[in-house]
Chains A and B, each alone.
Chain A
Amino acid sequence: MAINRRRRWLTTVSVCLVAAGLLAGCGGGSSGSGGSDGVVTVTTGSTGAFVDNFNPYSPNVQDAANGMIYEPMFYFNTLKTDDITPWLGTSYTWSNGGRTLQFQLRHNVTWTDGKPFTSADVVFTLNLALHNQALNKYALPLADVTANGPYALTVDFTKPAYEDLYYVAGKVGIVPQHIWQSIPNPTTWQNPKPVGTGAYELSKISSQSEEFTANPHYYQPGLPKVKELRFLAFSGNESADAAIVSGQVDWAGGFIPNIKTAYVAHDPKYTLVNLPLATNVLIPNYVSGPTAQLPVRQAISAALDRDFISNTVYDGETPPSNPEALLTPNFSSVLDPALAGSKLGGPNVAKAKGILQAAGYHLGANQIFVGPDGAPLNITIKVISGYTDYVSTLQIVVQELKAAGINLTVDGQSYAAFTADQDTGNFQLIINAFGFTPSPYSYYDEMLDSSIAPPIGQTDTVGNYGRYHNDQVNSLLTDIANHQDETSALPDFYQIEQIVTQDIPVIPLFEAQDEIEFNGHHVTGFPTQQNPYAAAAVYMQPDIGWVAMRLSSPTS
């Protein structure tokens, strides 16, 4: 469960492992007291104590702020390409070759303080980003923003911005002009009493819990359904997991080790929603070290038994990825039909050895391959030591690669050290995930674009940490960005997929599932495999708001 990192990384390995052993054996079928009378309790895992920070521009804003209180103009289903639903907006039109974007807005929307919502608020919000770099959270190439009457506006960009639609329409939460215009410094304002258009209002906050009550004047008919949402703060996985398993939490995003026994089997109404958001990959250093050699990457990929790892570490909840490293079914609409059905699964050790032998490697001491230059094939992989599922995965990978004559060493690091090494390219191999976006362009761009990654040694905060370089891929990506929608750039995607299959810029592992727990005694109406209307993850903004207002109590 790579996705639940946010709550996972706060815990030390030892505590986590011990807790896994303890909690897996925990019985105690007490049904908690939360959730009755239209109250749904929520936790995002180990968030630490809450602080009353509802400034949507803060990088550590409370999860509920974006989506439940402040809303964007459209909802982009993170699980599916081009599944866009009106939120505060009603429609949008591109013109001027992607440099001009016009929005029509909903009528009869009011802020929770009773003032009407108009295009002036949207213009004000986008102008904050335009005039203050620190508030331009999504680095939008804005040139000008003007209102066309009370319910329409025009946004001009400095360059074709088709790929920025998701951010400008689907991520930027609109703030009320009448309140924010008098804030002298919006960057450092805590905004303790937020006024938004959203389905919920903040009613109470303390270090351990936050309460949000339904907005009685909400503009979408019949929504929200649940009267109150209560967020609980945990600082450690073990206490969060215990609360989830005992039924005190109704909606949780938590990695529970051995989840089938520890959670699903605990109560027939406990539901595990598992919708993929990202792909787990091994990222090789493409510039230096043994992984810069294509045969080495090919051999590693061939030697891995992804089925076994998935079953052992993830209870079989993570299907193996494919050679083109494309997240499916999310991006299946851009998948080359010639590659359809290609899955990575069981190992092929003979093939791995054959690839290395053909490349001039020969087996040396301890059955480890020695390269043509006489150096044994020793590779070090870096991992965040608090990510226990990654650590378990790599322990198996070490054994599997050993069988193929590759000596892998696992180097567990702190979050900070790992991030620094990843960003500067100071590694031979790392394990991480790509995704969390509805756009296959953003997905491949983050993974493959060499124009976003400075040379090794310099800090790269955008992606392509292995410094993969392929001019053809770069120009294909640029071409996709100049198409209004991605389905019209299918040939470009097909080419990229073929190149990924050949170059192996990343070694795909799994379609990382997003394990979200719902207590069916208290809550229903959440996204499911049959009805994947949104990412169910509590920490995805603004998806949290989209899901929250659609939840309901089974008893009511």
Chain B
Amino acid sequence: MRYLGRKLAFYLVAAWAAITLNFVLPQLIPGNPVLILIAKMQDSGPVPPGEEQILTKLLGLGGGNVFQRYWQYLDNLVHLRLGLSVTDFPTPVTEELRSTMLWTLVLVGTATVLSFVIGISLGALAGWKRGTKLDALIPSTTFLTALPYFWLALILLYLFADTVWNVFPGYGGYDTNSELDVGFNWPFLASAVQHAVLPALTVVLSSIGGWLLGMRNMMVSTLSEDYVVAAEAKGLRGHRVAIGYAARNAVLPSVSGFAVSLGLVVSGSVVMEQVFSYPGIGAKLFAAVQNDDYPLMQGIFLVITLAVLGANLIVDLLYGLIDPRTRVGR
């Protein structure tokens, strides 16, 4: 119980620090949303004098010094009022989050889990059969990881959408040319899955190498542990030693890494969503940052923060179960 209390207290402090940072960071971006809106309006005609005051009033901005605004911000957070987005004024931030979050959660979440499972399995195998041809997996997957993310995405676009083999759609979350109703119906889901293939492939290809390498190396060092030697000496079958003795222990560092990457699922892959015009939260965040859209940025950062902290907390607690050593305080 003391373990749990200590952990919770730590996470509360971390949450407060993160929430405060969420407030501070957007304020450090130069300019303000009104100036950006006006600059954009000037792209389709001169803007009359007085527009700045009009927009400030329309958006309900300004008022109060930093501390008053900070207090206001905390007050709004407690009451779960995230305000209205500036980028899509007057859409509430909660609606922006709702409409984009699911896309990213499903796509990047699935891709991350897939990448973890495949990476760990292949890593365990490569570690178990070290010195064989399977070792070639390592340079080939780390090469994919080393490729710039957007470059990999563009290569996939080039190969599988449009130019070389036109097998997958190249942009969007679903087919906009046919009459589809967004919701839980087969035609839409089928289209959504089809559209998710290339973005998901980008995520999997570019992250699998990390898992594989980490797992393989842990596996190799675990295999030289005494208990593995003992298990082998006892005459246990190969796969029992590999999975039950070596892999089970070798996977521990990867699990904590997985927690972090699960939390980052929410932040999506900003670049991937840009390249594929995927209607997720990463593209939204990108737009928010470029428009100095404080309410939207804070809303998205809040969700990311809570997701990372939450995922870490759960894994921390699970870790206590998996690995009893971490429970024992000194």
Task: Indicate if B2 sits at the interface (CB-CB under 8 A).
Answer: no
Of the candidates B54, B55, B173, B283, which one forms a contact with A48 in the assembled complex, judged by CB atoms under 8 Å apart?
Answer: B283
What residues of B have a CB within 8 angstroms of the CB of A236 in the complex?
274-277
Of the candidates A19, A188, A246, A415, which one forms a contact with B39 in the assembled complex, judged by CB atoms under 8 Å apart?
Answer: A415
- Decide: A57 near B99, CB < 8 A? Known: A10-B286, A139-B49, A208-B279: no
Task: Indicate if A238 sits at the interface (CB-CB under 8 A).
Answer: yes
Of the candidates B30, B41, B91, which one forms a contact with A51 in the assembled complex, judged by CB atoms under 8 Å apart?
Answer: B91
Q: Is the Cβ of A238 less than 8 Å from the Cβ of B45?
A: no
- Decide: A415 near B99, CB < 8 A? Known: A187-B58, A233-B279: no
What residues of A have a CB within 8 angstroms of the CB of B255 in the complex?
none
Contact with B along A213-242 (1 / 0, CB 8 A): 000000000000000001011111011101
Task: Indicate if B326 sits at the interface (CB-CB under 8 A).
Answer: no
What residues of A have a CB within 8 angstroms of the CB of B40 in the complex?
5-6, 59
- Decide: A53 near B91, CB < 8 A? Known: A15-B150, A208-B172: yes
Task: Indicate if B174 sits at the interface (CB-CB under 8 A).
Answer: yes
Q: Is the Cβ of B46 less than 8 Å from the Cβ of A445?
A: yes
Of the candidates B44, B57, B90, B96, which one forms a contact with A55 in the assembled complex, judged by CB atoms under 8 Å apart?
Answer: B90
User: Considering the complex, which residues of chain B in the window 35-49 have a beta carbon less than 8 Å from any beta carbon of chain A?
Assistant: 35-49
The distance in angstroms between the C-alpha atoms of A423 and B47, with both chains bound, is 13
Task: Indicate if A459 sits at the interface (CB-CB under 8 A).
Answer: yes
Task: Indicate if B170 sits at the interface (CB-CB under 8 A).
Answer: yes
Task: Indicate if B88 sits at the interface (CB-CB under 8 A).
Answer: yes
Task: Indicate if A189 sits at the interface (CB-CB under 8 A).
Answer: yes
Task: Indicate if B151 sits at the interface (CB-CB under 8 A).
Answer: yes
Task: Indicate if B157 sits at the interface (CB-CB under 8 A).
Answer: yes
The distance in angstroms between the C-alpha atoms of A34 and B47, with both chains bound, is 36
Q: Is the Cβ of A419 less than 8 Å from the Cβ of B31?
A: yes
What residues of B have a CB within 8 angstroms of the CB of A246 in the complex?
162
Stretch from A257-265, A314-322, A368-376, A436-444 at the B interface: A436-444
User: Considering the complex, which residues of chain B in the window 140-192 have a beta carbon less than 8 Å from any beta carbon of chain A?
Assistant: 150-151, 154, 157-158, 161-163, 166, 170-174, 176-177, 182
Closest to B29 in A: A416
Q: Is the Cβ of B35 less than 8 Å from the Cβ of A420?
A: yes
* Residue from A6, A59, A209 whose CB has the most chain B CB atoms within 10 Å: A59
Task: Indicate if A540 sits at the interface (CB-CB under 8 A).
Answer: yes
User: Considering the complex, which residues of chain B in the window 71-89 have a beta carbon less than 8 Å from any beta carbon of chain A?
Assistant: 84, 86-89
Contact with B along A2-40 (1 / 0, CB 8 A): 010110011110110011001000111010111000000
Q: Is the Cβ of B46 less than 8 Å from the Cβ of A18?
A: no
Q: Is the Cβ of B162 less than 8 Å from the Cβ of A242?
A: yes
Task: Indicate if B271 sits at the interface (CB-CB under 8 A).
Answer: yes
- Decide: A417 near B31, CB < 8 A? Known: A10-B286, A461-B51: yes
Task: Indicate if A422 sits at the interface (CB-CB under 8 A).
Answer: yes
What residues of A have a CB within 8 angstroms of the CB of B95 in the complex?
51
Task: Indicate if A162 sits at the interface (CB-CB under 8 A).
Answer: no
What residues of A have a CB within 8 angstroms of the CB of B161 in the complex?
242
The distance in angstroms between the C-alpha atoms of A443 and B47, with both chains bound, is 11
Q: Is the Cβ of B171 less than 8 Å from the Cβ of A28?
A: no
Min CB gap B108→A, angstroms: 15
Q: Is the Cβ of B158 less than 8 Å from the Cβ of A243?
A: no
Q: Is the Cβ of B90 less than 8 Å from the Cβ of A238?
A: no
The distance in angstroms between the C-alpha atoms of A27 and B273, with both chains bound, is 24
What residues of A have a CB within 8 angstroms of the CB of B52 in the complex?
459, 461
What residues of B have a CB within 8 angstroms of the CB of A452 in the complex?
49
Task: Indicate if A91 sits at the interface (CB-CB under 8 A).
Answer: no
Q: Is the Cβ of B90 less than 8 Å from the Cβ of A53?
A: yes
Min CB gap A405→B, angstroms: 33
The distance in angstroms between the C-alpha atoms of A3 and B32, with both chains bound, is 22
Of the candidates B43, B53, B174, B275, which one forms a contact with A238 in the assembled complex, judged by CB atoms under 8 Å apart?
Answer: B275
User: Considering the complex, which residues of chain B in the window 103-158 have a beta carbon less than 8 Å from any beta carbon of chain A?
Assistant: 150-151, 154, 157-158
A interface residues (Cβ-Cβ under 8 A, vs B): 3, 5-6, 9-12, 14-15, 18-19, 22, 26-28, 30, 32-34, 41, 46, 48-49, 51, 53, 55, 57-60, 78, 133-139, 167, 171, 187-190, 206-209, 230, 232-236, 238-240, 242-243, 246, 248, 414-417, 419-423, 436-437, 442-443, 445-446, 452, 459, 461-463, 537, 539-541
* A-B contacts, 5 listed (Cβ < 8 Å): A139-B50, A139-B54, A188-B84, A239-B277, A422-B39
B interface residues (Cβ-Cβ under 8 A, vs A): 29-32, 34-55, 57-58, 60, 84, 86-91, 95-96, 99-100, 150-151, 154, 157-158, 161-163, 166, 170-174, 176-177, 182, 271, 273-279, 283-284, 286-287, 290-292
